[in-house]
Amino acid sequence: MSSQNRIAVVTGAGSGIGQTCATALLKEGWQVVFVGRRADALQAAIAAAGADGVRAVAMPCDVGDEAAVNALFDSVQQRFGRLDLLFNNAGMGLPPKTPDEVGGAAWREVVNVNLNGAFYCLAAAFRLMKAQSPMGGRIINNGSISAHAPRPGSIAYTATKHAVSGLTKTAALDGRPWDIAVGQIDIGNAASEMTARMVQGVPQADGSVKPEPRMDLSAVAETFMAMVRLPLSANVLFTTVMATKMPYVGRG
């Protein structure tokens, strides 16, 4: 199937990693559904894609709302007839806090977006990919370095990202009979609004505060597209892309 006939859904597409990866898909001819909470941010992201934006559509959705997610994927099926790729990218974190400072409401908010939302989207994508002809497709979850090693004061974010790894492994197994390839991209210190504070300095495991190197978002897009371009008979289950000098290997 040519890229021009392939349909992708990217969550958290209004900025940062999601926008960059959605734009990379557009450049290779994909039709891309930009998903996020804010319609204005989605429209701005599509406009920034220039002429390629003609193959994009904005569909605002709160991924933490199961009914809204099901309606979103119903709209995708009705409009395009199939789904070939889901990038499960939407996520959020909290300011650094120890567990006793987080509180149940904040904890549930992070879990609802990062874990519940990822599951709702993955489950809805499975439903479409199992039923379509030709069947199958690819799902890529955004795991993060925190799926492997925590930062200080990040219990909600880290717990949900560890859980995303469980989603990836189980869905990769469950998707085999329907040619659904599920993988995970773990991204460290990409230059975006979310990581701007790293330039000034962020808490380290030894109690110090130090600036950390960041990589350009283009490195994330290139890694993501390498996963996307694979045939469904091949899958990158986990891959890590990070700034070469960031304190991850040997962290702590």
Residue 28 CA from chain centroid, whole number:
19
Q: 37 CB contacts (<8 Å, ≥6 apart)?
A: 14, 60, 61, 62
CB distance 154 to 146 below 8 Å: yes
Active-site residue identified among 30, 73, 126, 157: 157
| ∠ CA 73-74-78, rounded to 5° | 115
The alpha carbon of residue 20 and the mean position of all alpha carbons in its chain are separated, in whole angstroms, by 11
Q: Who contacts 185 (Cβ-Cβ below 8 Å, separation ≥6)?
A: 140, 141, 142, 143, 220, 223, 224, 227, 239, 241
Contacts of 17-20 with C-beta under 8 Å, sequence gap 24+, read 17/89, 17/142, 17/187, 17/190, 17/192, 17/217, 17/220, 18/87, 18/89, 18/90, 19/45, 19/48, 20/217, 20/218, 20/220, 20/221
Per the structure block, which two tokens stand in for 222? 């290139």
120 counts as catalytic: no
Strands 209-210 and 202-203 turn out to be antiparallel
CA quadruple 9, 22, 180, 81: dihedral sign:
positive
Positions annotated as catalytic residues are: 157
